[in-house]
Structure 1
Amino acid sequence: MERLKARSAPVRRALWIALLYLVFGWLWITFSDAMVARWFVDPQALKMAQTYKGGLFVLVTGLVLFALIYRQLSKDRTLLSLHARQRDEILRLNRFREKVIDQASVWINVLDSNGRIVLWNRAAEEITGYSRDEVMHSDGVWELMYPDPDVRNQILAKVAEVLRDEDALAGFETTIITKQGQERVISWYTSSLGSVEGESAGTIAIGQDVTDIRAAENLIRRRDRQLVTLMDNLPGMAYRCLYDEHWTMKFVSSGCQDLTGYQPDELVDNRVVSYASLIHGGENDRLMSEVESAIGSAEPFSLEYPIDHKDGQQIWVWERGRAVVDEDELVLEGIIIDITDRKKLEDELSEMATRDALTGLLDRREATRLLDDEIVRARRYGRSLALLWIDLDHFKQVNDQLGHAAGDTVLRGFSELLSSRVRQVDLVSRFGGEEFVVVLPEMDATEASQSAERLRELVASSPQQLGDGREVNLTMSVGVAIYPDHGDDASSLIAAADQAMYQAKASGRNRVVVASAVNPDHTSKKNHEG
């Protein structure tokens, strides 16, 4: 309607001008002839006046016509010049638009109100595989790219919504099938072009190919799930922490609860407890030193140390990690595993390697090593040390008369009795057969002799039960040697105590003898009868 009014406006103006000219001409002719006839009576003068009147009319109307035509021609020239400039601008804009749209890295297409394609840029061709010639002024390509009718109907409903509401739709993703049969994920921004005379002008759609982005995101999500699964199934705790005095945790895996008894968020940023406070005793300084050394040499570190579990138990852990730089900050990353069972096994194996298999007492080698340590300590602090060499009397008869199984039972019972009656700092060892050694730190000859006598009386008054109702009465001969009186090293002290024990045997058994000065050349008899 508006365009029809705009087209009829020049016609109306022309008709009004023509009408005004006719009215003016009619009025001029009518009134001018009457006036001239009144003014000029002479026919000759009247004729002349009418001639001049007609010329004046022609002159005036000519001048008016000239002015109107000149004015219109000036406007036309201005309009033509303006139209020429506008045409040049439009041409440049079209070229710029075509260049920008065609060289854009995103898919741009324009649809009319019926869904037919009226613009299809080069990126659209590259993404879909369909050229302009194949898609222009048609809507058939949508069936090719969206072969599933349900999916296609959903997309058409979205487009209809945009047309109806004259609004924009952003972040809407669809999966198209390209001409080559590949699937591509497109993220759309769609907007209405508005309406003309109440009718929709169509839509413009800008699509970005996000296939690679979504594939990368899916890969990251899969890796994250795999990492979470891996960490959840680790036999310990993965961590990331600051290199500070608190070992401030920035991340811990879910294994934290089993390892420490605390929830992960209780350790992160030291919210409830710091990891450093869980490390048992004074181990933090040692750990800090070893980690610092590893960082200095740009190597990973391996640590073993005890921590205090939330329930109060002490557990041993093994930690393997290394320092990394994260956003200009030095952090430690690694894993911590519970090795309590392994440490117990190691202790048991170590115990087995240093203990007599039958009695559980220290074996000869371990007892000798510890005796050397005690002598070094006694020498450093200027203190004495006593050594008891014990031999069971007539033990060979127990084996011969009751059997070796009974003999083993007696040895085990005797070992338990002996161990139960010495101090915690004392060392009890089976040197072999029926020979035993007791090391008594910080005891002189008198104290050691009294202790040995109490043990001798205890053994003599405590028959060993065989478990079948029988019992065996035991006695023992004890030799006592004192550091430094009877020797200044383990071998000389053992030799002195052995010699004193031999003297106790020779004196009738079941007695205690303190060693005298030892002759270095003297050799004790090792084949004496029990």
Structure 2
Amino acid sequence: MDRLEGRHTPLRRSLLVVGVYLLAGWLWIAFSDYLAAQWFPDPDALSRVQTYKGILFVVVTALVLFLVLMRQLSRDRIMLSLHHHQREEIRQLNQLRESLIERANVWINVLDPEGRIVLWNKAAEEISGYRREEVLDSDQIWQWLYPDADERERHRARAEEILPDEGELIGYETCITTRDGRERRISWNARGLRDEGGEIVGTIAIGQDITDLREAEITIRQRERQLSTLMDNLPGMAYRCRYDEHWTMLFVSSGCRELTGYQSEELVNNNRVSYAGLIADNSNEDVLRAVESAIGNAEPFSIEYPIVRKDGRHIWVWERGVAVGSNDDLVLEGIILDISDRKALEEELSELATRDSLTGLFNRREMTRLLDEEIARAKRYGRALALLWIDFDHFKAINDDCGHAAGDSVLKATSALLADNVRSVDVIGRFGGEEFVILLPEMDRFEASETAERLRALISDTPQPLGDGRTVPLTISIGVSVFPDNGTDSRDLCAAADSAMYQAKSSGRNRVVLAPPAQEAHNP
């Protein structure tokens, strides 16, 4: 009815204006003509007055019409401007609605009091798989999303329990079934919508797909359990520590006790002892340098060093770690393993690689390496170096007459006797068979000759045991070469000493022969 009245208002107003105009025109014509006839009886004067009166009427009515039109056009212009402004606001509101609702990355839907969908945004379409046209003005969506009737009723009862009393559902999780049959977990925030009279007119619900989040949480929990199991079964100790002078432990695994003898809580935050206090043999500086170098190169570090256990026992450990940033601080994370058995094996293998298995002296390869080092040192500091080449006289006869076991006994006893009668800086080794070599650092020809004579006399005067209670006399032949007179590298020195030794044998054995200087050896 109001709208009908609104449509008739312009017509009535137009009829009213026309009526007023006609009435005013009629009154003007009637009264103006009467007054003119009374005031101007002369026909010529009356005719002129009638003409002026008509012109005045036209001017006045034109002026009134102009003012009316101006007023109406001004109103129309204001109304048009207002209409344009309103249309712009509506456009902006539509854009805002599209931005906030249609383009939102969360599910937004609005229901009427009967549970029918009246708003269904794009995120709801993408998550559920159901298009807006399928669900608007229908409550069938709830059967689609929750095929299980008991579950569906439970969720609706939960919503009906809270929303009518102006409550809110916050973080309420449900599991929906999408159009393609997949299950997705949704976290809902919902509240009721009321009109000005306080009546429930609907419900707005905002849902966030947390399926991936929940799966990630499950994965993280599984990995945490796996990591905890792994750490508890590590052969060593996993750790996280500060990069400070104490290597302050922030976390250590349960392997701490087996490795160090201390409980985890005794090391954490240096409660009883700092880890730096466990590092033995002043190795902290080496550890620090290795860690600093690795941090500077942005790479992991690997270090081997000894530590002292709680029971006082020294063990070797291998540490592998990396520096990571944590809350604007630098911490180290890694693992520490007990490598004492490996170090012992390495030492044993090193001994096997450098020592003669029978006599315990250095073998030929190690003696050659040491000879090269001594020659380099002698060259650097301008010092002398002598080499003794020793061979047992008639040793084959001992093996043939008494057996190889007796020969081995003589070799061990003789090598021990030689080793006990040289200086601590001297180096003795077995080159093979019954040939031995002794390095005499900082000895000239005269001193080397005296040492060789002393050792020759010692062996000649000392019967050697056969291992069965018997002894046998033994003599040796010794060749002597000296750096740099007989050569400036190991090959030349060895060749000169070996040649001198053979000269001693050919001269009757049990004697010492000095190799002549290289220039003399080449003179006729």
Normalising by the residue count of structure 1, what TM-score does the alignment of the two structures yield?
Answer: 0.57
1:454 to 1:402, Cα distance in 2 relative to 1, 3 A: closer
Residues 75-86 of structure 1: pairs in structure 2 closer than 5 A: none
**Using a 3 Å threshold, how does the CA distance of structure 1 residues 265 and 150 change in structure 2: closer, same or farther?**
farther
* Mapped partners of 1:107, 1:280: distance in 2: 63
* Structure 2: runs of 5 or more not aligned: 1-85
Q: Are residues 260 and 223 of structure 1, via their aligned partners in 2, closer, same or farther at CA, if it must alter by over 3 Å?
A: same
Once the two structures are TM-superposed, the CA of residue 246 in structure 1 deviates from its matched residue by 4.6
Aligned partner of 2:305 in structure 1 is: 306
Secondary structure of 1:361's aligned partner? coil
1:385-406 residue CA offsets vs partner (Å, 9 max, x unmatched): 9877654443221222244455
CA distance in 2, matches of 1:320, 1:198: 66
CA contact (8 A) 1:486 1:516 kept: no
Taking the TM superposition and a 5 Å limit, the aligned residue runs for 1:177-216 are 177-191=177-191, 204-216=204-216
The superposition leaves residues 77-131 of structure 1 with CA deviations (integer Å, 9 ceiling, x where unpaired) of: xxxxxxxxxxx9xxx9xx8898766665544455677x73364432545533445
Query: Distance between the aligned counterparts of 2:154 and 2:456, measured in 1?
Result: 100
In structure 1, how many angstroms separate the alpha carbons of the residues matched to 2:391 and 2:272?
A: 60
Show the counterpart of 1:465.
Answer: 467
- 1:158–1:412 Cα change, 3 Å: farther
User: Equivalences for 1:200-239 in 2 at 5 Å?
Assistant: 204-218=204-218, 220-221=220-221
SS of structure 1 residue aligned to 2:172 = strand
Q: Is the alpha carbon distance of 1:130 and 1:294 closer, same or farther for their aligned partners in structure 2, counting shifts above 3 Å?
A: closer
**Partner residue in 1 for 2:428:** 428
- Aligned-partner Cα distance in 1 for 2:231–2:427: 47
Match of 2:116 in 1: 117
Q: How far apart in 1 are the matches of 2:261 and 2:270?
A: 15
Contact 1:421/1:455, CA 8 A, preserved across alignment:
no
Q: How does 1:372-383 map to 2 (within 5 A)?
A: none
2:172 aligns with 172
CA distance, structure 1, for counterparts of residue 481 and residue 247 of structure 2? 51
Structure 1 residue 187: Cα displacement: 0.6
Counterpart residue type for residue 141 of structure 2: V
C-alpha contact 1:325 1:331 (8 A) present in aligned 2: yes
Q: Which amino acid aligns with 1:464?
A: L
Matched residues in 1 for 2:372 and 2:209: separation? 80
Residue range with higher mean Cα deviation, 95-104 or 127-136: 95-104
Note if contact 2:456-2:476 (Cα within 8 Å) is conserved in structure 1: no
Partner of 1:520: 517
How far is the alpha carbon of 1:186 from its aligned partner?
Answer: 0.9
Are 1:401 and 2:405 an aligned pair? no
Aligned partner of residue 465 in structure 1, secondary structure: coil
| Partner residue in 1 for 2:318 | 317
CA distance in structure 2 between the aligned counterparts of 1:383 and 1:477, rounded to whole angstroms: 28
Sequence identity (%):
49
Is the 8 Å Cα contact of residues 389 and 494 (structure 1) preserved in structure 2? no
> 1:186, 1:210 within 8 Å by CA — same for their partners in 2?
yes
Partner letter of residue 467 of structure 2?
Answer: Q
Which residue in 1 is equivalent to 2:351? 351
Q: Where in structure 2 are the equivalents of 1:223-302 lying within 5 Å?
A: 244-247=244-247, 270=270, 272-289=272-289, 292-293=292-293, 296=296, 298=297, 300=299, 302=301
- Residue 145 of structure 1 and its aligned partner are, at CA, apart by 1.4
RMSD over equivalenced CA pairs, Å: 5.5
Aligned residues: 419
1:139 deviates by 4.8
Shift of 1:351: 3.0
Q: 2:472 is aligned with what amino acid?
A: N
Aligned partners of 2:149 and 2:474: how far apart in 1? 104
Letter in 2 for 1:181: G
- The answer to whether the 8 Å contact 1:316/1:343 transfers is no
Gap regions ≥5 residues in structure 1: 1-87, 524-530
Relative to structure 1, the CA distance from residue 483 to residue 266 in structure 2 (aligned partners, 3 Å threshold; closer, same or farther) is farther
Contact 1:389 1:498 in 2 (8 A): no
Report if aligned partners of 1:358, 1:412 keep a CA contact under 8 Å in 2.
yes
CA distance in 1, matches of 2:376, 2:127: 86
- Give the CA deviation at 1:184: 1.9
Question: Which residue is equivalent to 1:477?
Answer: 476
1:159 maps to what in 2?
A: 159
AA aligned to 2:516 is: N
TM-score (norm 2): 0.58
User: Structure 1 residue 170: deviation in Å?
Assistant: 2.0
Separation (CA, whole Å) in 1 of partners of 2:433 and 2:299: 50
What SS is found at the alignment partner of 1:429?
strand
Residues 208-262 of structure 1, C-alpha deviation per residue, up to 9 Å, x if partnerless?
2223433444455566566667767777666665555455556666666666565
